Amino acid sequence: MKNINISLKVDKVPTEQADAMFNQHRAWFAKNFQQGNFLLLGPYQDKEHAGVIIAQAESREALDKVLSEDVYYPLDLATYEVHEFKAAMVAENIKEFQGR
């Protein structure tokens, strides 16, 4: 599994394109969540314009392909910090935390 921290480089995003780009970014989230690439995602509450994704992929190369499809990626408008981890414990009630 992969933990991805994404932080937008807000000062580099063209103001006139910010809303449209963010909508494309959200569509990218939804597409990859529906396809099963992203298992859990959401914005940080203590850091603006940043969030976390828990993802699964066959390989790092496969994940890099998914990341490259984000609207911000090819323009270097966000940082994508990826860490691999092994889920040693998973709470049975994890769905109870959705939206919190």
Closest CA to 24 of 78, 74, 62, 69: 69
- Give pLDDT, residue 59: 93
Domain CATH for 16: 3.30.70.1060
Six token digits for residue 47: 């850091």
Range of the domain at 82: 2-97
Q: How far is CA 89 from CA 2, 55, 86, 93, in A?
A: 15, 16, 9, 12
- Kindly state the greatest CA–CA separation across the chain: 44
Please state the domain count of the chain.
1
* 50 Cβ contact partners less than 8 Å away, ≥ 6 residues apart: 5, 6, 7, 8, 43, 44
- Give pLDDT, residue 100: 78
Mean pLDDT for the stretch of residues 85-91: 91
Q: What's the pTM value of the predicted model, to 2 decimals? A: 0.89
- Whether 70 and 8 have beta carbons less than 8 Å apart is answered as no
More confident residue, 96 or 65: 65
pLDDT of 99 over the 90 cut: no
pLDDT of 98 over the 90 cut: no
